[in-house]
């Protein structure tokens, strides 16, 4: 499977995955929803030589998780757009190789 194929499949699967949100569950009287969202940030900054260079802040991470939940619709759309763009770019990068393969196929057909 090519890189483009892999990325296109990942995008397709992600669209289906996100599509579960708001969709009626057959066995329950409720809609699908975002159940878990875990964020762990780490900032690289060193005050001076020999001092701490990696920083974490769990309270900030919890607040960022809330931001994601509040803005999930627009953030999920952005994430899907990024995935689609990466898949499309990978396919465009394969264009020349695909053209060469088509030329080979035409040569084989002509015998």
Q: Which pTM value belongs to this model?
A: 0.81
The whole-angstrom separation of Cα 27 and Cα 36 is 20
Answer whether residue 35 shows pLDDT above 90: yes
The dihedral built from the CA positions of residue 26, 31, 34 and 36, taken in this order, carries a sign that is negative
Query: Residue 43: which H helix or E strand, with range?
Result: strand 43-44
Largest CA distance in the chain: 70
The whole domain housing 38 covers 3-110
Helices H / strands E in the chain, number of each:
4, 2
Task: Give 68-85 pLDDT, tens digit per residue.
Answer: 999 999 999 999 999 999
Could you give the percent of the chain with pLDDT greater than 70?
100
Domain total in the chain: 1
- pLDDT on residue 27: 84
Q: Is 34 helix (H, G, I), strand (E, B) or coil?
A: coil
Q: Which residue has the tokens 């809330």?
A: 66
């Amino acid at each position: 499977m090519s890189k483009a194929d892999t990325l296109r499949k990942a995008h397709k699967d992600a669209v289906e995955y996100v599509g579960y949100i708001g969709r009626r569950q057959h066995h329950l009287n409720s809609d699908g929803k975002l159940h878990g969202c875990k964020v762990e940030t780490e900032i690289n900054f060193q005050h001076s030589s020999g001092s701490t260079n990696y920083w974490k802040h769990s309270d900030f991470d919890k607040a960022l998780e809330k931001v994601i939940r509040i803005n999930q619709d627009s953030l999920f759309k952005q994430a899907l757009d990024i995935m689609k763009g990466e898949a499309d770019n990978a396919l465009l990068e394969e264009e020349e190789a695909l053209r060469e393969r088509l030329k080979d196929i035409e040569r084989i057909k002509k015998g």
